[in-house]
Chains A and B, each alone.
Chain A
Amino acid sequence: MTTTPSKGVGLGMPELPAPPYPDDVHARLERDAREIIARYPDSRSALLPMLHLVQSEEGYVTRTGMRFCAELLGLTTAEVTAVATFYSMYRRRPSGDYQVGVCTNTLCAVMGGDAIYSALQEHLGVGNGETTDDGKVTLEHIECNAACDFAPVVMVNWEFFDNQTVESAKRLVDELREGAEVSPTRGAPLCTFKETARILAGFPDEREGAVSASGGAGHASLTGLRLAKGETAAPRVVHPREGATHETPGDRPSDRAPGNAAPHDPSPGEHLSSHDAPEATSASDPAHPSGPVAEEGE
């Protein structure tokens, strides 16, 4: 927390403490928080679920939310901030109702995740971690989500959309923005990010049919079992989502990774998966083209 002159202090003073929640909100959240704390032998273990809880209130982890956690757990806000900033699922600024995460770890990226991700960036007109103007969709690239046999995978509010294509992913975000009810390949019909955060805080999804939605194991999970039973393996499902049309994916030039035209030629500055690793490389220091430790043996 550094000084913020624009807020009117401007004298090198530390930021003022965050305002508390309104009394009614505080009372409601405190009831939930007490329930979380009671699950653990040591109250501090409740911190991660409580950060999910405050995220379910405001859609991201605010300073007010962190102050709330600190007060209930007898921690300093600095201790809470240290934890909240470590984990990638805690958002630090307001975001959309639907978090669309495209897996761009190696396997999904190679199988088409990179193409899907860059197509969605262009389609939505947003970059990594940015939200569409209507406040509906926040686009991110994400890491491996343990569904490699369904690659390429897109997660929306941490529900699985398996075997995606550029076309199916575009259709998906369009439907989200139109307010249509959208169901994942594996998981329950989508709720908002805030409602998802409440489940993550450890409060079961009370919606009728949410647990059984989408049925049992996904098709790829059954591949070996079906072979072992002498049944033929199920044909590969390319368009998993109900109502999807059946045009051949990727058959238009525009479907092919716009902005990433062949031959594959990413530069450090425009790399698809630049994450939060600092960007500066030898590109910023042309005198030393071989990189950071250039003096030795060059």
Chain B
Amino acid sequence: MTLAAEDGGTARPHTFEDGAETSPEKLLAPVLSAFWDEDESWTLDVYRRHEGYEGLRKALAMSPDDLIAYVKESGLRGRGGAGFPTGMKWQFIPQGDGKPHYLVVNADESEPGTCKDIPLLFANPHSLIEGIVIACYAIRSSHAFIYLRGEVVPVLRRLHEAVREAYAAGYLGKDILGSGLDLELTVHAGAGAYICGEETALLDSLEGRRGQPRLRPPFPAVAGLYACPTVVNNVESIASVPAILKNGKNWFRSMGSEKSPGFTLYSLSGHVTSPGQYEAPLGITLRQLLDMSGGMRPGHRLKFWTPGGSSTPMFTEEHLDVPLDYEGVGAAGSMLGTKALQCFDETTCVVRAVTRWTEFYAHESCGKCTPCREGTYWLVQLLRDIEAGKGVMSDLDKLNDIADNINGKAFCALGDGAASPIFSSLKYFRAEYEEHITGRGCPFDPARSTAWADQHTEVHA
């Protein structure tokens, strides 16, 4: 089955009652991205023109406990990968404990394939700042932090500017909008470490230490930053809160499913005709996204894809109709993760792809626990040998075995993430591994996978 636009509508199970809905106007739901195409979309002026900070006014009219309950009832779940209900995270913060409370926004977006928070912050940083003020009011925090990965200076500039604007307009600082709420917001640039996207490693890093994960319990809600109650939320989760307040929880629940309500950003990348950000209700399928956007690049077929970054087990074209929500992807054997839909066509060598991801995990393993530190190291050695045609058949079981000794046995989720591509690629593409071994090398030509490969062909046609 090719996924070019012309035959994309054939022979599919219908997920919509009225048949194969392919109209992007009906399938997509731009909320956070609604005005990214406007001039100076990142400024306070433009944000206000789109009812910016109206959600905050509504929130401040509620009691903090009611606000937490409201966000809980909206059903908003964490957009950073795990899908934990956001309102519940807020509710876990002990109140009246006499300690400072902190909100830390995880803007360390580094999961391979994931590219939603960075464009969001580049085009619309005030949605995050408004969400931060609302969240801090709810959890009674007077100091919030944005932990932004350091390698994105253009985004850092706009965050600096947006925070300055928000202070000047009275959305940050003392007695915000006359509510009595005081809030300081600090933008903190990281220094290059994937592991700092893990929430407890992020906290250690924010405390000026090596970014290594902490033992839990105690959970951050009890002992987080500076051993005080702390909420750690993903950028997109917090940025979604103002729209929920502004438009109402029922509006939010009108999108997506009962257990996965709302809208979210899907990031389409790889060998597709139109890579980019697609904001849609949860539960859209990759087939729908590809159908509306021109499919795979002309003349090529989808081979494998990730639903939510490299740490989520890969899918193949048999999974095109899996609803991309937490339950749907989970039931199909993977995880929704960050909704980073990396699509690879038939020119791509799975062994090469998995080797490179595994090298990434080995590079980024913090070294704290043995299964991950040693396991990722040995996976890389075996994979490099297989890719170079120096592997033996027993290496494949050994790969599985090592991945099994990392998965669930590592200190944090980085280890599980490293095991995912190994398990899933061996499950769907074992024959391709075997081909590397029996053929003493890689049967693929990497030149055919490049973005310009087909231009090259045409020139010489």
Contact = CB atoms under 8 A, between A and B. Distances in A.
Given A107-B342, A114-B446, A143-B112, A265 B377 contact: no
Given A151-B270, A212-B40, A262-B446, A271 B384 contact: yes
B312 to A, nearest CB: 13
A224 B28 contact: yes
A289 B392 contact: yes
A290 B378 CA distance: 12
A275 interface: yes
Interface stretch (A7-15, A24-32, A45-53): A45-53
B123 to A, nearest CB: 4
B268 A149 contact: yes
Nearest to B460: A251
Contacts of A106: 112, 310, 342, 352-353, 356-357, 360
A179 to B, nearest CB: 21
Contacts of B360: 105-106, 143-144
B192 interface: yes
Interface stretch (B67-75, B329-337, B448-456): B448-456
B429 interface: no
B28 A250 contact: no
B442 interface: yes
9 contacts: A39-B186, A146-B117, A187-B157, A216-B40, A222-B37, A224-B280, A250-B456, A251-B456, A291-B395
A275 B119 contact: no
A196 B441 CA distance: 43
B186 A214 contact: no
The 6 lowest CB-CB distance pairs between A and B, nearest first, are A223-B276, A224-B278, A47-B208, A87-B191, A187-B154, A89-B192
A186 B154 contact: yes
Contacts of A42: 207-208, 226
B349 A265 contact: no
B17 to A, nearest CB: 21
Given A212-B40, A216-B123, A228-B29, A256 B447 contact: yes
Given A233-B294, A262-B447, A277 B380 contact: yes
Interface residues of B, number: 121
Interface residues of A, number: 113
Contacts of A62: none
A214 B154 contact: yes
A192 interface: no
A200 B268 CA distance: 29
Interface stretch (B58-66, B158-166, B253-261): B158-166
Contacts of B392: 289-290
Contacts of A276: 363
B52 interface: no
Contacts of A149: 115, 267-269, 275-277
Interface stretch (B88-96, B128-136, B145-153, B174-182): B145-153
A269 to B, nearest CB: 9
A228 B277 contact: no
Contact of B442 (A219, A251, A263): A263
Contact of A265 (B100, B186, B378, B441): B441
Contacts of A220: 275-277
Given A115-B447, A293-B378, 8 more contacts: A148-B342, A159-B153, A159-B154, A216-B37, A216-B39, A220-B277, A227-B293, A263-B441
Given A111-B450, A149-B267, A293-B398, A262 B112 contact: no
B47 interface: no
Contacts of B451: 111-112, 151-152, 163, 165
A42 B392 CA distance: 54
B240 interface: no
Interface stretch (A120-128, A131-139, A170-178, A202-210): A202-210
Given A188-B157, A222-B37, A248-B455, A265 B442 contact: yes
Contacts of A40: 186
B348 interface: yes
Given A89-B192, A106-B310, A277-B377, A260 B446 contact: yes
A88 interface: yes
A163 B276 CA distance: 12
Given A107-B342, A277-B377, A222 B36 contact: yes
Interface string B267-295: 11111001111111000000000001110
Nearest to B338: A146
A96 interface: no
Contacts of A87: 190-193, 211
Contact of B161 (A204, A215, A216): A204
A45 B348 CA distance: 43
A276 to B, nearest CB: 7
B192 A187 contact: no
